[in-house]
Amino acid sequence: MFRLVVTALLALLGASLPADTGAAAPPESPPAPGLTAAAGLSESEAVLRALQSNPNLRAFRKQRGIAEAQIVSATALVNPLLQLTLVHLQEGPQLGWTATLKWTPPQPVELAARRSQARATLDEVRYAIAEQEWTLAAAVRLTHATILELREQARILTEALALRRRMGGLVRTRVQHGGATRLELNLIELAVLNAQRDLDDVELRRTQAQSQLQALLGVVSAEPVEVSGALLEEPAGAVLLDAEALAEQSVASRPLRKAAHARVIEREQALRLAKTRLWPWPELNARFGQTGSSKYPNDWQAGFTLPLPVLNQNAGPIQVAAAEFDKEHAAEQAQIETLKQGVYAACAELKLRHKILRRFRSEVLPVLSEHDHLMEIAVRSGQLDLSALLSSEESVLRGQRDYSAARLAFRQAWLMLEAAVGASVGEVVR
């Protein structure tokens, strides 16, 4: 929108040049690197690549193998023990021997509790991995949207900088021919410096966002990862959000809450395991030997062993397991409340961002259009001066950048709400 302002200034400056100058305007500055690059990764492609290649996620997924192995370990039977002993008797010079076999049979309730505890641990690991994947996907989408909008802002500022430099060249020529003052040239030079500073700031932020995206994607390269796509300004259903429904969806969908519930089951099975040890469980043993005695050459025994004391009731371990179960149950309830409050906060911010974006469209953009109309009238009537044109151009440029920032903020709020819910918000709305 600021093109009309600059075009008017160029026309004004060009019209006041002496006829015999023949001065040519300086060439436009080349666009900033990456602004005209080939199409890169779309949002969905970036998410898919991150889920496949992110090194931290790949390392975290290895915990699943550990949890699966713990199930095998928890259901394994205790190995029997074999003891061989040489026996010397006072009768005769020959030595005898004995072989003792000991084995603790599985306690059915304890075996089931161990199996259930190990499976709950595996479920916790699976849900933790799913939470990491969802968090990573949300971070990739957020960074992808940031790069897109910063690239658009860089394009606007690059165009503004090129036009201001053209304006500076024309004013400099006018100063040489006495048609303008050095104060006017200084105003143009300050405008160029301001535009360059803003462009450098946007480029720095875009470089940082691209570095963050490379880390999320697991890309180790000196070259930035290019992205493609358009920023979704206002997804369908933005005005139909139900905070209560989204909060319930968060409790039902978020793997973080499911992992907390799996820990509760794990502690419940640990309490069950501690209670099964209230009563002793026998250890079977059998012994057979050759004594070397002519009178009693063979010897065998069979029996069982019970751990003592049998009346301690295992009170300490049971109290510890019960306290840990209560702790995890309370942690799950706290997690549910945290998830709901996070959704409520995200909904409130999204509604405010939506209101701001609508205000920009209904109030700010029409003002900018009206400004174009007024500038056209001023050009036709010749009511123009350099300071007014520069001020107008700066105001229009700021308005465009503020609108771009409002679009990005709305998109970020939408993605943060989806991250809090644990599912696509559009699916919940429908």
Phi-psi region at 290: left, alpha or beta (left = phi > 0; alpha = psi -120 to 50): beta
CB 152 within 8 A of CB 228: no
Q: State the average pLDDT over residues 367-388.
A: 66
What is the model's pLDDT at position 152?
A: 87
Out of 68-72, 111-115, 236-240, 298-302, least confident range: 236-240
pLDDT (tens digit per residue) in 235-279: 655 667 788 989 998 998 899 999 999 999 999 999 998 888 877
Q: State the average pLDDT over residues 170-178.
A: 80
Q: Cis (ω within 30 of 0) for the bond into 309? A: yes
Q: State the average pLDDT over residues 316-342.
A: 92
Q: What average pLDDT is seen over the chain?
A: 80
Q: Is the pTM of this model over 0.85?
A: no
Question: Which of 72-76, 158-162, 305-309, 342-346 reaches the highest mean pLDDT?
Answer: 342-346
What is the model's pLDDT at position 21?
A: 37
In total, the chain counts a number of residues equal to 430
Distances (CA, A) of 266 to 67, 131, 199, 219, 322: 13, 19, 55, 38, 12
Q: Is the pLDDT of residue 38 over 80?
A: no
What is the model's pLDDT at position 36?
A: 36
Give the dihedral sign, CA 138/139/141/146: positive
What is the model's pLDDT at position 176?
A: 83
Q: Is the pLDDT of residue 312 over 80?
A: no
Q: Which domains does the chain have, with CATH numbers?
A: 3-17+32-429 (1.20.1600.10)
Residue type, 18: P
* Rounded Cα distance, 136 and 128, in Å: 12
* Rounded Cα distance, 385 and 392, in Å: 11
Determine whether 103 is exposed, middle or buried from the number of CB atoms within 10 Å of its CB (0-12, 13-18, 19+).
middle
Q: Is the pLDDT of residue 364 over 60?
A: yes
What is the model's pLDDT at position 380?
A: 61
Q: Is the pLDDT of residue 30 over 80?
A: no
CB neighbour list of residue 123: distance below 8 Å, 6 or more residues apart: 258, 259, 262, 265
Q: Is the pLDDT of residue 39 over 80?
A: no
Considering only CA atoms, which of 198, 145, 154, 166 is closest in space to residue 36?
A: 154
What is the model's pLDDT at position 384?
A: 54
Tokens of 160: 């503004």
pLDDT (tens digit per residue) in 389-414: 777 777 778 888 888 888 888 888 88
HSE at residue 145, side-chain half, CA atoms within 13 A, is: 21
